[in-house]
Amino acid sequence: VLSAVDTVRAGGMFFASRIRGKGGAGAMLPSGPPLAVPLTEREKEIAKLVAAGQMSKEIAAKLNLSVRTVEKHRANIMEKVGVREVASLTRWCIQAGLVDT
């Protein structure tokens, strides 16, 4: 219970195990600004371009990278920020201040 209180005090969120599903004491998830997720400068650059609607081939040409490299960066970014869809990544980029609306 004390760790849950400490997590909430620090700005995080606590989910009881019955909400989270199986597991012990519950899930403690960090909260706060999206850029608490550590992205490299290259990942930020690619995230901005993806959020702007550019395709991997276009990004690759613009940054002088292979399409596979861009796709790998995109997959890493999406895993780091915890999203599975480009629309969710775009929303995350807006919330993080990487792109303007």
pLDDT tens-place string over residues 10-66: 555 555 554 444 444 444 444 445 556 789 999 999 999 999 999 999 999 999 999
**Three-state DSSP state, 27:** strand
Model pLDDT, residue 31 = 44
Domain identity same for 27 and 42: no
| Structural domain containing residue 24 | 1-32
Domain identity same for 41 and 5: no
Domain identity same for 12 and 24: yes
Model pLDDT, residue 70 = 98
Taking each continuous run of H as one helix and of E as one strand, the counts in the chain are 6, 2
Domain identity same for 70 and 85: yes
Model pLDDT, residue 37 = 77
Cβ(25)–Cβ(12) under 8 Å?
Answer: no
Domain identity same for 89 and 46: yes
Paired tokens of 93: 């980029």
What average pLDDT score do residues 2-14 get? 57
- H-state helical runs in the chain: 2-9, 17-20, 41-51, 56-63, 67-81, 86-96
Phi, psi angle pair for 55, to nearest 5° = -85, 160
Paired tokens of 31: 């909260």
Domain identity same for 26 and 74: no
Cβ(71)–Cβ(58) under 8 Å?
Answer: no
* Number of structural domains in the chain: 2
Domain identity same for 86 and 50: yes
Structure confidence at residue 85 as a pLDDT band (50, 70, 90): very high
- Computed from CA positions of residues 40, 44, 50, 56, in that sequence, does the dihedral angle turn out positive or negative? negative
